[in-house]
Structure 1
Amino acid sequence: MGFSAFQNKIGEEMRTRNFSIYGQWTGVLCIVVCFAVGLTGILSNLVNPILLLFSILCFAFSFIIIFIEIPFLLRICPTSAKFDTFIRKFNSSYMRAAIYGVMSAVLWISLVKSASGLIAAAVFLLIAAVFYLLAAVKGQAFQGSKVLGGQGVAQMII
């Protein structure tokens, strides 16, 4: 698939006005932000154990989100049955809003100690939670991105 075809597919998905698609793409951004902020926090907070803990959590969140948002990876990565069962719980917009909300709340708690780059991850996670909550409240069926391995591929996993 060429770049223009990729761009067209993303454009089509954005025009659907389905908030679960927006949530999924925001979730992909959360993967990048949580990975970068978490890793940076781990490397720079070695003397501050509280922020180090929150940075490790943020870093771990990036890997959880990868499996939630890119369902094809459950098929190709060796994971335990317990982990697969945990990830499959997040197939609905309500459950995704809940997990993103919890992850965001955990990172907002890190502000009690001091302000850090974890705020960026908390904000992105909150935006994803809001998109998924809007999809659920509006009654929009969860619609996974075709570009990220949704639809046909996601059905094979379930």
Structure 2
Amino acid sequence: MGVLEEFKSRNFSLYAQWLGVASIALLIALGVINVLGNPVFAILGWVIAFILFFVEVPLCTKFCPTSPRFDGFVARFENSYFRGAMYLLFSVIMFISTVVETTTLVVPAVTLLLTFLSYVIAGLKNQPHASTKVLGGTGVDNVV
């Protein structure tokens, strides 16, 4: 099953994973842009991106040396509601960065919020967690 078939599957956890990957890219790129103007939240964005990278890219946990404690932390987020809660927390953190001054960090805050909504919809529809084969996951072959 290819990427197009995965998108056609209507599995919102897949949509959320792709939104999460977009959020990672935005957090890194816009963190670089805002590091001088808003250094605290730029660095927080990088930390969030690092955490999300290990949560959303299954290939990473296969190749990168991680501790059993970190693997246990990542395994907790196989539930759509837990992932959604994590994304909501990260979104709120990034929205707080705009309280003092509106910066481009609002863009990853919005994508994090959209990811939260996708995971909640997946949870409400009782869709099993799926991850795209492109990033080392199982795809939807095993869950549909």
* TM-score between the two structures when normalised by the length of structure 1: 0.83
2:28 is matched with: 35
2:16 is matched with: 23
2-structure distance, mates of 1:17, 1:143: 11
Question: Are 1:138 and 2:125 counterparts?
Answer: yes
Give 1:6-155 correspondences, 5 Å limit. Answer: 9-42=2-35, 44-45=36-37, 51-151=38-138
Larger Rg belongs to: 1
The amino acid that maps onto 2:62 is R
Alpha carbon RMSD of aligned pairs, Å? 1.5
The amino acid that maps onto 1:38 is G
Deviation at 1:82, TM superposition (A): 2.4
2-structure distance, mates of 1:148, 1:91: 16
Q: Which runs of 5+ in 1 are unaligned?
A: 1-7, 46-50, 153-158
Percent identity, please: 39
Local SS of the residue matching 2:134 = coil
2-structure distance, mates of 1:53, 1:71: 28
Corresponding residue pairs, total: 139
Q: Which runs of 5+ in 2 are unaligned?
A: 140-144
The amino acid that maps onto 1:76 is F
Give CA deviations for 1:23-45 in whole Å, capped at 9, x if unaligned: 01111111111110112211x22
1-structure distance, mates of 2:26, 2:81: 23
Deviation at 1:79, TM superposition (A): 2.3
The amino acid that maps onto 1:89 is R
* TM-score between the two structures when normalised by the length of structure 2: 0.90
Deviation at 1:117, TM superposition (A): 1.0
Give CA deviations for 1:82-113 in whole Å, capped at 9, x if unaligned: 22222221111111111111100001111211
Is the alpha carbon distance of 1:113 and 1:128 closer, same or farther for their aligned partners in structure 2, counting shifts above 3 Å?
A: same
